[in-house]
């Protein structure tokens, strides 16, 4: 059976785990930014602007430019999702130590004023310790739930960024194939 101290410790560990999860998400952003920039550079290098007048005249050129536009759209969507996931969100923090000390002092005064423990002063300290642990546990639970929800939102947007990036890689591969076909067929403006 869990006593109050163990429950409080459990909630605090979960609270810390949510902060560590936030830090773990932030470490992944560097890789995502580099990947999006790399794919964008590849799209730019593979894009031939000289064939745009042939867009409606040749099916291979039309498919090529559609792939260029789709890959740019995927990169744009990935970038937007990444920016949304990076956007700072307000996390709930535990109250400061001064506030907790004031709360404990006020609660102790209330317990003494009620006459509880007048014969045995150690009962007052036990009651204050018990109430403090309950109050801290309730505050930890509230903050942990709030922070977990915020982390899930960040992770959802980051995952969408990842999916768009993977989609962009697939489209860029198809674009590279079409680029090679256009080069091999020596497609040029008349």
Three-state DSSP string of 89-126 = CCCCCCCCHHHHHHHHHHHHHHHHHCCCCCCCHHHHHH
Q: Are 20 and 48 contacting, i.e. CB atoms less than 8 angstroms apart?
A: no
What pLDDT was estimated at residue 2? Answer: 53
Q: How far apart are CA 11 and CA 16, in angstroms?
A: 9
* Residues counted in the chain: 190
The total of other beta-carbon atoms located within 10 Å of residue 76's CB is: 14
Q: How far is CA 173 from the centre of its chain?
A: 28
Q: Per-residue confidence of the chain (190 residues) as pLDDT tens digits? A: 456 677 777 777 887 887 787 777 778 888 999 999 999 999 999 888 888 788 888 888 899 999 999 999 999 999 999 999 988 778 777 777 788 788 778 877 887 787 776 777 777 777 877 787 788 778 888 888 888 888 899 999 999 999 999 999 999 999 999 989 988 888 776 6
- Is 171 strand, coil or helix? helix
Q: How far apart are CA 105 and CA 99, in angstroms?
A: 10
Q: Are 130 and 117 contacting, i.e. CB atoms less than 8 angstroms apart?
A: no
> Taking the domains of the chain in order of start, what are their residue ranges?
4-184
The total of other beta-carbon atoms located within 10 Å of residue 115's CB is: 8
What pLDDT was estimated at residue 9? Answer: 76
What pLDDT was estimated at residue 1? Answer: 45
Q: How far apart are CA 50 and CA 57, in angstroms?
A: 14
């Amino acid at each position: 059976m869990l006593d109050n101290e163990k429950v409080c410790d459990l909630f605090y560990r979960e609270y810390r785990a949510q902060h560590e999860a936030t830090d773990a998400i932030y470490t992944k952003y560097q890789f995502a930014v580099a990947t999006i920039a790399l794919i964008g550079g590849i799209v730019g290098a593979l894009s031939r602007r000289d064939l745009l007048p042939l867009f409606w005249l040749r099916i291979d050129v039309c498919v090529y430019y559609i792939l260029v536009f789709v890959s740019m759209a995927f990169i744009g969507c990935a970038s937007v999702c990444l920016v949304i996931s990076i956007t700072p969100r307000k996390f709930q923090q535990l109250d400061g130590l001064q506030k907790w000390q004031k709360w404990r002092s006020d609660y102790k005064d209330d317990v003494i004023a009620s006459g509880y423990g007048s014969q045995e002063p150690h009962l007052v300290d036990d009651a204050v310790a018990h109430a403090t642990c309950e109050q801290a546990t309730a505050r930890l639970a509230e903050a942990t739930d709030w922070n977990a929800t915020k982390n899930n939102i960040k992770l959802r947007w980051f995952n969408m960024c990842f999916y768009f990036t993977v989609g962009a890689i697939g489209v860029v591969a198809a674009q590279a194939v079409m680029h090679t076909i256009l080069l091999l067929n020596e497609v040029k403006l008349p």
